[in-house]
Amino acid sequence: MHTIDVYFSMLLTSNVHCIYKCIYTVAIVNRSEVARLLSQISAEYEAARLGLTGLAYGVSQHEFITARMEHMGQLHNQLHSIVGDKAIALIADQLNSLL
């Protein structure tokens, strides 16, 4: 059974302590997932930026950068599903910290 499933089953019990622990654990898991997604977005951005100055030119360079940007879009969608409309602001802050 997955960790989230265990805590959700605890949520169904009448023990108030278990309910608070479940909510707290889900918040921690979400915070870790947000951090992981932001880190991946930063890595994709850096890879695309470095692709501009790499040895590959032309179509292969364009395809590489496009793939990085498309993956950033997928990561943004995942982040949006967790934090909602704050996702783009979190991404902007993360990428600004790279500059």
Distance between CA atoms of residues 29 and 95, nearest Å: 23
What pLDDT does 47 receive? 85
pLDDT digits (tens, 9 = 90+) for 25-60: 555 656 788 889 999 999 998 888 887 776 656 657
Q: In this predicted structure, which of 24-28, 61-65, 70-74, 89-93 has the lowest mean pLDDT?
A: 24-28
What pLDDT does 89 receive? 92
Write the burial class of residue 81 (CB in 10 Å: 0-12 exposed, 13-18 middle, 19+ buried).
Answer: exposed
The verdict on pTM exceeding 0.75 is: no
Highest average pLDDT, of 1-5, 10-14, 49-53, comes from 49-53
Distance between CA atoms of residues 85 and 82, nearest Å: 9
Would you say 43 and 95 are in contact if contact means Cβ atoms under 8 Å apart?
Answer: no
